[in-house]
Copies of this chain bind each other. A is one copy, B any other.
Amino acid sequence: YGKNTIKFLRLHREGKKHFVKEVEVCTHLRLTSAQEYLEGNNSLVIPTDTIKNIVLVLAKKNGIPTLEQFAIDICKHFMTTFCQVAYVKTYVQEVPWQRLHENGVPHVHSFICVPDGIRFCEAEQCRNGPLVVFAGIKDLKLMKTTQSGFEGFYKNEYTTLPERHDRILCGELFCKWSYGECKDFDFDCIWYTNKIRECILEAFAGPPDCGEYSPSYQKTVNSIQMLVLSKVSQVQVIEVILNNTFYNVVDMKNLGLTNDKEVLVPVEAPYGSCACTLGRKKFLEA
């Protein structure tokens, strides 16, 4: 049980300059007891209202140095404060506020919401187990208008899809990686120095002057994983899900026109999905 979507804004001021971190937190607990389910005995139950208060107080006291550190702080607090907690998991996602700029000058206290991918993280711990930290980015919508195809696939009597060597590749990416057992990482430093987001975009798009041919969603997913694992040594395992939207070339023959992939219609349902989890030395697909 737990509390979901605890939303709040943490405002930090340095003189006239303001820094905002608006987050949405979900914290779930499993207790060592079962009596609250079986007997309605609540004596060990920490109310979800108290969970919310603890999250807000930790934000007030520690601030949100990084999303990951904040999730770790919450997990540690529950494990050390309450001996009836058998397991704790905390998920934190960020509202993508960006500082406004006017003619290149950053504004001291004004922000705009730019949802081109949402950063999130997760920390979890079982009593007597390690504290494990995950981070990720979701809702990242990307498109390439060429250098994508799908050929040589398995065919039988149910196959109607034609082979294509030049199609649009468009999808929404979900990437989540594990930093393994929690260490004294500076998570924002890993994020910014290693440019994980840039890695993902680069693996998706290929070189800016010509791109790189994608023979399938599967291969693109794998390319993203390989690049992140090779560039960011702290990442242990990376899961990528690519939900793709097909674009159908509109047949205009009946309308007396030849449509050379100029007008395409997105097909939003059904949509394909391709997920893979890749770790160091071992390979798992799902």
Contact = CB atoms under 8 A, between A and B. Distances in A.
A198 interface: yes
Contact of A34 (B145, B158, B161, B283): B283
Interface stretch (A45-53, A68-76, A129-137, A184-192): A45-53
A261 to B, nearest CB: 6
Contacts of A5: 269-271
Given A216-B42, A218-B45, A262 B60 contact: yes
A196 interface: no
Contact of A4 (B31, B59, B271): B271
A21 to B, nearest CB: 10
Nearest to A155: B50
A211 B34 contact: no
A227 interface: no
**Chain A, interface size: which category?**
35 or more
B37 A143 contact: no
B110 A44 contact: no
21 contacts: A1-B218, A7-B270, A11-B263, A37-B276, A40-B215, A43-B152, A43-B153, A45-B218, A50-B160, A53-B255, A57-B255, A60-B257, A60-B262, A61-B257, A81-B156, A100-B201, A102-B202, A109-B147, A111-B145, A157-B255, A160-B254
Interface of A: 1-12, 16, 18, 20, 22, 28, 30-31, 34, 36-50, 52-54, 56-57, 59-61, 81-82, 84, 97, 100-102, 105-116, 140-147, 150-161, 168, 198, 201-202, 204-211, 215-219, 221-222, 243, 247, 250, 252, 254-257, 259, 261-266, 268-276, 283, 285-286
